[in-house]
Chains A and B, each alone.
Chain A
């Protein structure tokens, strides 16, 4: 990982076994913004799982660029899977079902939309690139 100041890049190639590495690196990068660690970890796990299980990336190569300042956290998630825009190609979850009927599909992108203020997608150089932004509020600092 390349971690300097308020920027950091994670390169992921090992599949689901990368999850402990992601958690460890985020706890370092976001140590001043502890309240953001779990949400960012969640968003990355959901995107990475999608790439691993549905992206048909061969060989798997994901780069995540994180940038933070006093106002915004930006996450740029790039994968070499098949073209896929999760912002429009994912069915929203059905919240009105009973336990017996409830399925998990679509929750990942629902988390991402709920937890960020901006999402955009583009396909460039044979990569899917998803950009997420989250506003940093004073309470983000205070609630360490």
Chain B
């Protein structure tokens, strides 16, 4: 079960998945986000503070989104993962590969 909230904050696209990002819902996440990242909208914060759970299929959809942002010469950062999600990011190496901020505000200020 996943809902994806999209907001624009000072020209930065903030994507907030709410619920679970897994083998069942990662398609929904990709559908909700794929048209949002463009040449003009290439600064992205993925706010994970409302994400309860992520699996490798969920990570795959995050990676797809990050790659798309890079392909538009943009920047992609993560904010606010809770402990369980943060552990998965760390073990997978995503935490080291992508910039991870504690809060959305810090992430927004990093651009």
Contact between chains at A49 and B57 (CB < 8 Å)? yes
Q: Are A38 and B57 in contact (CB under 8 A)?
A: no
B97 within 8 A of partner (CB): yes
Interface residues of B, CB < 8 Å — how many?
Answer: 26
Please indicate the chain A residues that have their CB under 8 angstroms from the CB of B98 in the complex.
99
Most A CB contacts (10 A, CB to CB) among B23, B52, B63 go to B23
Is A8 an interface residue when CB atoms closer than 8 A count as contact?
Answer: no
**Interface residues of chain B: helix, strand, loop or mixed (majority):** helix
CB pair A19 B23 closer than 8 Å: yes
CB pair A38–B56 under 8 Å, yes or no, is no
Listed by A's residue number, 9 A-B pairs whose Cβ atoms lie within 8 Å are A39-B84, A39-B87, A42-B55, A45-B23, A99-B63, A99-B70, A107-B56, A108-B56, A111-B91
Binding site for B on A (CB under 8 A): 16-17, 19-20, 23, 38-39, 41-42, 45-46, 49, 93, 95, 97-100, 102, 104, 107-108, 110-111, 114-115
In whole angstroms, what is the CA distance A56 to B29 when docked?
28
Interface of A is mostly: helix
Report whether A107 and B20 are in contact in the complex, using a CB–CB cutoff of 8 Å.
no
